[in-house]
C-alpha cells in the first residue's frame, strides 16, 4: 500500500452546514455571533468521532481570536499586531476543553500563516503523519470581530462597510466580508488508516507553501505563485475544479485570475469561491472551503460563486450555478495576506 496521506474525517460549523441564511450587512451569510469563541470551536470539535479522538496524536490549531483583555491592550497600543503576539494570548480555556475530550496527552501546536493557515497546517500535518505514523488533527476557528475587520481594512483597504456587498471576481467588488466558522480535518497515512480502521475520504496528493511578499499588504507576484501552483500539479487534465481563494479585492482577484489563466489555459475547468456565501473566515478560510469542495465532489458537483453580479471578465468558467463533474481532483488555493501562499491538490475518494 502506498504511503499516501489521506483525510479520514472532517467537520465544520459554518452557515452552510447549519443551513443558515442570516442577515449580514457586509454580504454573504454569517454564523450566529451569539456563540463565544470557545463555543463555536467546541460545537465543531464535538462532531468528531470517538475513534478519531482516541487515535489523535497531534493537534495543530490556529485562530486570530484571543483573550479580550489582551485584545483591548493590543489594539490600543500597537500599530501592527504581530501573529506571534496574538497567538501567545490565544484562548487557553479552549485548549483545556479540547484536552479533556482527548482523555490523553496530545501534542499541541499553534501555527499562523494568515490567510493560508489551514493549508500550511495541513502541510506540516502531512509531514508529521508520514514521519511519525500518526493521526494528526488540524483545527482553525475565527469569529467575525470588528477589531479584525479594522486591521484587515487598514491592511488591504478592502472591507466594505456599506449595505451592499459584491462577491469575489466581481467588477464592482468593494472588499471582503468577514465570516465566522470553525473546521477540523483529521489525516494520516493510508497505512495508519487501515491499522485503526478508518475509511479515507480524500487523498492529499500534493501540498506546498511558500512566502514572497512584495510589501506587507500585497500578495506575491503572479510568476512566483504560478510556479508554486504548477509545482503541485502533475496532470492538469485530471483537475475538475479550481477552488479559489478569491478575497473579493481588486488586487487579489486579478492576480489569482491571471494565475488561473496561465495554468489552466483553455481547458474547461470551473473556478469558483465560497467566500460569497460564508465570508472570509480568516485563519479558517482554506479548511472550510476545502471541506465543502470535498462534500460537493462526493455528489459529483462543484460549488458555485454567490453574490457575483458583474464578472471581472467574460469567462463562463467562473460559475454562478452548481456545476456537475465526473472528475475526482481539485486545486485548493490560498493566497494573499502578507504574501503567504499555499496550494493543495485533493483527490476525492
Give all domains of the chain, ordered by start, each with its CATH number.
Answer: 5-196 (3.40.47.10), 206-348 (3.40.47.10)
Considering only residues 220 and 177, tell me which one the structure prediction assigns the higher pLDDT.
177
pLDDT (average), residues 202-215: 79
Q: Strand, helix or coil at 36?
A: coil
- The number of C-alpha atoms within 13 Å of 88 and in the hemisphere containing its C-beta is 7
Residue identified by cell 472528475 is: 327
Q: Residue 41: phi, psi to the nearest 5?
A: -65, -45
Q: Strand, helix or coil at 70?
A: helix
pLDDT (average), residues 234-254: 86
Question: So what's the pLDDT on residue 326?
Answer: 94
Q: In the predicted model, is pLDDT for residue 306 greater than 90?
A: no
Q: In the predicted model, is pLDDT for residue 148 greater than 80?
A: no
| Whole-number Å distance between alpha carbons of 32 and 331 | 30
Assigned C-alpha cell, 314: 467574460
Question: So what's the pLDDT on residue 131?
Answer: 94
Question: Predicted confidence band at 65 (pLDDT cuts at 50, 70, 90)?
Answer: low
Average pLDDT over the chain, rounded to an integer: 80
- DSSP 8-state class, residue 306: P
pLDDT digits (tens, 9 = 90+) for 38-60: 888 899 999 999 999 999 999 99
Question: So what's the pLDDT on residue 112?
Answer: 72
pLDDT (average), residues 211-240: 72
Q: In the predicted model, is pLDDT for residue 89 greater than 60?
A: no
Burial 14-43 (b: 16+ CB within 10 A, else e): bbbbeeeeeebebbbbbbeeebebbbbbbb
Considering only residues 14 and 7, tell me which one the structure prediction assigns the higher pLDDT.
7
pLDDT digits (tens, 9 = 90+) for 16-39: 888 776 555 555 555 556 777 788
Question: So what's the pLDDT on residue 238?
Answer: 92
Q: Which residues sit opposite 209 in a β-bridge?
A: 342
Question: So what's the pLDDT on residue 215?
Answer: 45
Question: So what's the pLDDT on residue 68?
Answer: 45
Amino acid at each position: 500500500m502506498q504511503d499516501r496521506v489521506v483525510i479520514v474525517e472532517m467537520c465544520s460549523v459554518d452557515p452552510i452546514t447549519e443551513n443558515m441564511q442570516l442577515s449580514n450587512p457586509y454580504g454573504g451569510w454569517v454564523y450566529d455571533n451569539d456563540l463565544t469563541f470557545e463555543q463555536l470551536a467546541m460545537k465543531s470539535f464535538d462532531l468528531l468521532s470517538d475513534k478519531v479522538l482516541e487515535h489523535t496524536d497531534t493537534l495543530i490549531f490556529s485562530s486570530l481570536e484571543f483573550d479580550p483583555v489582551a485584545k483591548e491592550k493590543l489594539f490600543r497600543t500597537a500599530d501592527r499586531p504581530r501573529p506571534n503576539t496574538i497567538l501567545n494570548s490565544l484562548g487557553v480555556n479552549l485548549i483545556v476543553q479540547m484536552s479533556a475530550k482527548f482523555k490523553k496527552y496530545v501534542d499541541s501546536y499553534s501555527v499562523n500563516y494568515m490567510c493560508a493557515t489551514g493549508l500550511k497546517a495541513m502541510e506540516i500535518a502531512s509531514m508529521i503523519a508520514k514521519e511519525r505514523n500518526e493521526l494528526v488533527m488540524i483545527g482553525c476557528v475565527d469569529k467575525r470581530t470588528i477589531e479584525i475587520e479594522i486591521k484587515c481594512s487598514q491592511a488591504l483597504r478592502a472591507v466594505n462597510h456599506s449595505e451592499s456587498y459584491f462577491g469575489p471576481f466581481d467588477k464592482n467588488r468593494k472588499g471582503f466580508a468577514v465570516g465566522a466558522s470553525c473546521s477540523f480535518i483529521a489525516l494520516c497515512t493510508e497505512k495508519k488508516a487501515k491499522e485503526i480502521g478508518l475509511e479515507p475520504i480524500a487523498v492529499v496528493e500534493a501540498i506546498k507553501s511558500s512566502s514572497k511578499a512584495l510589501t506587507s499588504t500585497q500578495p506575491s507576484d503572479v510568476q512566483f505563485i504560478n510556479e508554486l501552483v504548477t509545482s503541485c500539479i502533475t496532470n492538469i487534465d485530471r483537475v475538475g475544479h479550481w477552488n479559489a481563494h478569491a478575497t473579493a479585492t481588486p488586487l487579489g482577484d486579478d492576480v489569482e485570475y491571471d494565475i488561473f489563466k496561465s495554468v489552466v489555459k483553455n481547458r474547461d475547468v470551473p473556478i469558483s469561491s465560497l467566500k460569497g456565501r460564508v465570508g472570509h473566515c480568516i485563519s479558517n478560510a482554506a479548511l472550510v472551503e476545502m471541506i465543502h469542495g470535498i462534500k460537493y465532489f462526493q455528489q459529483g458537483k462543484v460549488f458555485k460563486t454567490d453574490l457575483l453580479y458583474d464578472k471581472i471578465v467574460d469567462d463562463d468558467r467562473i460559475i454562478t450555478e452548481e456545476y456537475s463533474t465526473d472528475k475526482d481532483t481539485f486545486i485548493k488555493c490560498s493566497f494573499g495576506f502578507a504574501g503567504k501562499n499555499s496550494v493543495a491538490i485533493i483527490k476525492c475518494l
